Amino acid sequence: MKVIQLDPSLAYRPENENYQYRNYEDGPLVDRVKNTYTLMHTHQTVEFVKLKHAKWGFCTHRKMTVMDALNLLDDLVDESDPDVDFPNSFHAYQTAEGIRKMHPDKDWFQLVGLLHDIGKILALHNEPQWAVVGDTFPVGCKHQKSIVFSDTTFKDNMDAHHPVYSTLYGMYEPNCGLENVLMSWGHDEYLYKVLRFNQCSIPEEGLYMIRFHSFYPWHTGGDYQHLCNDKDRRMLPWVQEFNKFDLYTKTEELPNVESLRPYYEGLIDKYCPGELSW
pLDDT of 276 reads 98
pLDDT of residue 25: 63
C-alpha dist (Å) from residue 121 to 20, 50, 154 = 28, 19, 26
135 annotated to bind ligand: yes
C-alpha 172: how far from its chain's center? 22
Q: Which helix (H) or strand (E) holds 63?
A: strand 63-64
* C-alpha span between 121 and 276 (Å, rounded): 14
pLDDT of residue 27: 59
Q: How far apart are CA 117 and CA 88, in angstroms?
A: 8
What local confidence, expressed as pLDDT, does residue 24 receive? 57
The answer to whether the annotation marks 223 as part of a ligand binding site is: no
Is 116 assigned to a binding site? yes
**Residue 22 among known ligand-binding residues:** yes
Q: What SS3 state is found at 64? A: strand
Does 166 appear as a known binding residue? no
Other beta carbons less than 10 A from residue 55's beta carbon: 13
pLDDT at 246: 84
User: Is 78 a known ligand-binding residue?
Assistant: yes
Chunked mean pLDDT (size 10), the chain, 278 residues: 39 38 59 92 98 98 96 76 60 92 97 95 92 96 96 97 98 98 97 98 98 97 98 98 79 77 97 98
230 is in an annotated binding site: no
234 is in an annotated binding site: no
pTM over 0.95: no
pLDDT at 70: 93
**Please, what's the b/e burial string for 158-182 (b: 16 or more CB within 10 A of its CB; e: otherwise)?**
ebeebeebbeeebbbeeebebeebb
